[in-house]
Structure 1
C-alpha cells in the first residue's frame, strides 16, 4: 500500500515536484507537467505524452532525448486536464507541430482531444494517436475500444524516435499508428493496488488465485485462475499473445518483435527475470526473434502485484525506431551525442511559462446578479462539504469496477471551483461569470472525465444565468437542461450507459416540469433532487457501456455509478442552500 504521503489530494503534485528536483538534468517543470530540460530543436515534431499519476515511470519518467518531449501529468489515475495538456504542448513545441499520444481512456481522449482542437485553432499543427494494445479489454473486432497499457512504450518510443530523426508530422503520426496496430499486451495480477489515503486496495484476489486480464488503473481482472508457477505464467502470457496476431501477420515464425515484460509495481526484478527466461524460450520455439527486450517496471499501477507482456511486431521501418538511442530519467538505450549543459538559470533555458495569469477584472454585472452570485458561492461551499463528507464512499463505489479515484477527483475539483468562485465574487462578478470561472477551475484541477463534465455543467448553467438579471427558476432550468445536452454531447453517453447522464437527464426533466407548473425554485429543485436520488439508486441495476467499468460490467451490477451518486448528493446539497435562502 502507499504509506508515505501528506494529503491524498496533494500526492500527485508533490510527487511531480520531487521527481523534477531529482532529475533536473533531463526535465524541467512547466504548468501541467514536465518537458525536456533542453528546448525542442527548431522544426522538430514535439511528442507529448501523458496520463494520470500512479504509473511511474510513465509518464514523466519517459521525457528525454530520443523519447517524449513533454508529459502532461494528471491526478492519481485521472487524466490531465485539457488546460494542462495545452500548456505542456505549448512549452514543448519547436515549430514542427505536436503529436499527442496517450492510452485509450475516456478522460484522456476527452481532454487531449480538447487540447488538440485548441492548439490547431492557435495555428499549431497538432494530431493525436491513441494507444489500444490491451487485448483483454475488448475483442479484436472492437480493437478501437481497447485500453492502452504497457504497449504505450512501443508507440511513444516509435513516435519520438521518428521525431528525433527529423521526420515531418505526417510521417511521425503514420509510424505511431503503425506501431499501435502492431502492438499487443496482456496481464495478470495477484493483488490490487491501494491509493494514497485509502485503507484497502481497489480490488482483492482470493488466496492462491490470480486475476487475469487486468488494467493499469487498479481495475480488477476479467477472470480468475489458480496462481501459476513462473513458467506457467510465462506460458499463459506468451500463448495468449501468440493467439492474436496483428492484421497482416500470418504466422509469428521468422518475425522480429520488441518485447516488454512489465512489472506493475510490487513484482520484483528478480521475479521478472525468472518469468522472462521462459518467455524468451517460448518465443524462440515459436520462431520469434526478440529484439532489445525490456524487462522491468515501465507502466505501473502503484503497488499492484502483477505482470504484463507486450509484443511489438516490428517491420523494417519500425525496428530502427525501437532500437534507436534514448536518454530519459527512467529509460536509457544506446548512446546519444553530447548536448549542452543547460542550467535552470541559463538564458538558453528560459523560466517555465507562468500559470495562466489570475484575472483581475470581470464583466460588469447588475446588483441583482451579484447578489445571486453570493447564493451561487454558498452552493459551491455546500458542494465542497458534501463531497468531502462522501469522498471515501465515492472512491469505494468507483473501485468496484473502475479505478477508485472519483472521490479524490471530486474533492480537488469542487475545492478549486469554490476558490475560483470566491475570487470572482471578490472582483464583483455576477452569477454567470462566477459559475464560468468555477467551471474552468473544476475542469483544470480535477482532470479526468468527471472534471471535464462538471466543467460543462457549471459553464452551461452560468451561461444561462448571465450577469444582467436576477436569475429566476426558468433560467436555472434552462441552464440545467443545456448542461444535460452538453454532457451527453461531450461524453458521448446516453441514458442507460450507467454514467452521471442517468441522473442528470432526470434531474433536468423534473426541474423543467416543476418550473413549468409554476413552482418556485427551491420547491422545483427539491423535486429535481428527489428524482436524481431515485435515478442514482437505479443505476445499481445497470451494466456500464462506457468508460473503464465497461470491461468489468458484471462486477458493477448491484453497485450504483459513482458519478451518478455524487451528482445526486450535490443536487440535494444545493437544495439545502436554496431552501435556506427561501426561508
Structure 2
C-alpha cells in the first residue's frame, strides 16, 4: 500500500518531525536528551515545572502546549505509544527550576506506569513531583468508573489553567490542586467520520462502511460506543451534548468554557457549524459560554471528526483561562465576559546498566530467550491487527521490537551470565524497546521473576513454571488484572497449571488454541480494550494470543 503521506522512512517519522519543529522554533524549544525525545522550553527560576508527554500523532497535543504560560517540557513517544521512563526523567530534570514538577498527561496505562517510574526516580534525585491525569472522555467509561476514562481534548484547558497558576507563583501543591480541579470539571465526547493511517503500519486504525460514523471514537482510533449513519451537525451536537450534560447538569447562571476540537481532517468551517449548534444548546439551558476554543487542539493525524469539551467555571478557573500564554502551536481562545445578543540539552542516562552476575556455565534460559526472539516477530502482523480491533494497534510492534531488543541485550552479556541477570536484562530491554502498557507490564513481570530463579542451577520445568507464575503475579499486582478480565493472565496462568499437571507438548498446543478462543468470549475489563465494553466480546485478546505464541515457542525450545 502506497501511503499518501509526506514522509521518508516511516520508522524515522517521529524523530524527523521533532527535528523539524526544533529547527523551526529554536527560540522556544530545545532538546533535553541524547535521543531527542525530551523537549523543553525556557522557564523562570523558581517556577513550578509542568511536564507532559504521550505518543506522537496528536499535534498540537502534547508538544504544542509547551511554551509561555503552559507546560515546561514534554516527553515524546512513538506514534500512539508512551514515552519511556528515561525520556520522562530527562524532561523532568530539564524542567525543574527548583520548585518541583507537576506531571500532567492523559490517562493511558503505559503513560501512567512510565510517568510513575520516572517520578520515583526523580524523587530519589531530589525533585518533588505531583501528578494530575486528564480523564475527560465520558464515552470511554460510565460515571461510576470515571477514574478509568481516557484523557482527550479536555486536557488542553487543564494545561492552560496549570500553566497560568505556575506563572503567578503558586507552589507545587497549589498548581496541582487547581489543575486537578480543572481536570475534574471538564467533560469531552467525540465523533469519528474516517480513520487515521499509522505511518509504520500503513493501515487504517478502524473501518467504517460508506455513510457511517463512530460515536465516542478515541484519539488513537479506538472504536466508540455506537456506529450510526452520518448525521447532520445539529444531530451530532444533540447527541454529544446529551452525553455531556447528563453529567454536567448545566443550569441558569452557569459559566462554562467550550472547546470544539478537530481531529485532524475536519475543515474549520465544519467546526464552527458544530460550535454554533453547541452554543445554542448551552444557551438553551440558561448557561453562558465565557470562554471558547475552536480549531485543531488534539488530533489523530488525518482522522476526520470532532470532539466537544465543556468545563464549568468558577471565578479562579475563568481568570486562569484568560491569562496570557503562547507557543508556536497554541492558539488562545476567545473570552466572552457577558452574554451577547445575536442578530440573525541535557543528556539522559538511558543506557542499560544491569548488573551482570556470572556462574561459570551457560544458562539454558539464554537459548530460550534467543529462540523467542527468533520466532515471535513472525506474528507481528497478526498481533497488530488483533490489537487494532481492541486497542491502538501497537502490540505487534511492541512484541517484535521487544524480543529483538532482548536478543541484542542478551548477546551483549557474557555467555555465562546468570539466569537472574538474563531476566533483568530482558525485562529492561523489552520494556524500553517500544514503551507501552504491555511492554511495561511484561517487563515488570520479568524483573520480578528474576528474584525467584536459582542461579546455581539450570532452569528446569518447575523453575520455568515458577518464573511464569512470578511474571503473572507481578502483572496482576501492577496492572490490577485478575482471571476473567480478558488479559494475558487468562492464558498464562491456566497454561502454567496444565504444564504443572504433566501435559505433553501436543496437548499443550491444543489447550492454548482452545484457551485463546475461550478468552475471546469474555468481555474485556482492563486497559483500552475495556473501553469497547460489550463490543469486546468475541474478539481475541491480543495479549493472550501473544502469550500463547510465546509459551508454544518456549516449550518447543525446551523439548529440542
TM-score, structure 2 as length reference: 0.90
Partner of 1:544: 524
Provide the rounded CA distance (Å) in 1 between the counterparts of 2:402 and 2:140.
Answer: 29
Whether the 8 Å CA contact 1:364–1:467 is kept in 2: the answer is no
Alignment of 1:578 with 2:552, yes or no, is no
Partner of 1:34: 38
Whether the 8 Å CA contact 1:393–1:407 is kept in 2: the answer is yes
Provide the rounded CA distance (Å) in 1 between the counterparts of 2:399 and 2:388.
Answer: 15
Which SS does the other structure have where 2:60 is aligned?
coil
Provide the rounded CA distance (Å) in 1 between the counterparts of 2:539 and 2:320.
Answer: 46
Provide the rounded CA distance (Å) in 2 between the counterparts of 1:54 and 1:105.
Answer: 15
Provide the rounded CA distance (Å) in 2 between the counterparts of 1:204 and 1:470.
Answer: 49
Partner of 1:322: 321
Change (3 A) 1:164 1:530: farther
Partner of 1:194: 197
Which SS does the other structure have where 1:545 is aligned?
coil
Partner of 1:406: 395
Whether the 8 Å CA contact 1:400–1:555 is kept in 2: the answer is no
Change (3 A) 1:136 1:96: same
CA drift at 1:65: 1.7
CA drift at 1:290: 2.4
Provide the rounded CA distance (Å) in 2 between the counterparts of 1:111 and 1:362.
Answer: 22
Whether the 8 Å CA contact 1:162–1:172 is kept in 2: the answer is yes
Gaps of 5+ in 2: 334-344
Whether the 8 Å CA contact 1:478–1:512 is kept in 2: the answer is no
Q: Which segment drifts farther, 156-165 or 116-125?
A: 116-125
Alignment of 1:234 with 2:237, yes or no, is yes
Partner of 2:272: 273
Partner of 1:337: none
Alignment map for 1:97-112 (pairs within 5 Å): 97-112=100-115
Provide the rounded CA distance (Å) in 1 between the counterparts of 2:491 and 2:92.
Answer: 35
Provide the rounded CA distance (Å) in 2 between the counterparts of 1:531 and 1:29.
Answer: 50
CA drift at 1:499: 0.7
Alignment map for 1:118-517 (pairs within 5 Å): 118-245=121-248, 251-333=250-332, 351-357=345-351, 359=353, 362-368=355-361, 371-372=362-363, 375-425=364-414, 429-465=417-453, 467-514=455-502
CA drift at 1:559: 1.9
What per-residue deviation string (whole Å, max 9, x for no partner) do you get for residues 88-137 of structure 1?
Answer: 21221222112112212222222222333333344322111111211112
Q: Which segment drifts farther, 484-493 or 210-219?
A: 210-219
Alignment of 1:21 with 2:10, yes or no, is no
Provide the rounded CA distance (Å) in 1 between the counterparts of 2:477 and 2:397.
Answer: 25
CA drift at 1:547: 1.1
CA drift at 1:10: 4.2
Alignment map for 1:69-108 (pairs within 5 Å): 69-108=72-111
Which SS does the other structure have where 1:180 is aligned?
helix
CA drift at 1:548: 1.1
CA drift at 1:478: 2.0
CA drift at 1:495: 0.9
Provide the rounded CA distance (Å) in 1 between the counterparts of 2:367 and 2:6.
Answer: 35
CA drift at 1:510: 3.0
CA drift at 1:483: 1.0
Superposed CA RMSD in Å reads 2.5
Whether the 8 Å CA contact 1:504–1:532 is kept in 2: the answer is no
Whether the 8 Å CA contact 2:205–2:220 is kept in 1: the answer is no
CA drift at 1:275: 2.3
Q: Which segment drifts farther, 537-546 or 527-536?
A: 527-536
Change (3 A) 1:483 1:212: same
Provide the rounded CA distance (Å) in 2 between the counterparts of 1:197 and 1:4.
Answer: 13
User: What is the count of residue pairs matched by the alignment?
Assistant: 545
Which SS does the other structure have where 1:135 is aligned?
coil
Provide the rounded CA distance (Å) in 1 between the counterparts of 2:493 and 2:96.
Answer: 41
Which SS does the other structure have where 1:47 is aligned?
strand
Whether the 8 Å CA contact 1:56–1:298 is kept in 2: the answer is yes
Whether the 8 Å CA contact 1:529–1:571 is kept in 2: the answer is no
What per-residue deviation string (whole Å, max 9, x for no partner) do you get for residues 529-576 of structure 1?
Answer: 664444323211111011111121322222210011011112222233
Whether the 8 Å CA contact 1:46–1:94 is kept in 2: the answer is yes
Partner of 1:341: none
CA drift at 1:385: 3.5
Whether the 8 Å CA contact 1:62–1:330 is kept in 2: the answer is yes
Change (3 A) 1:73 1:312: same
Change (3 A) 1:18 1:475: farther
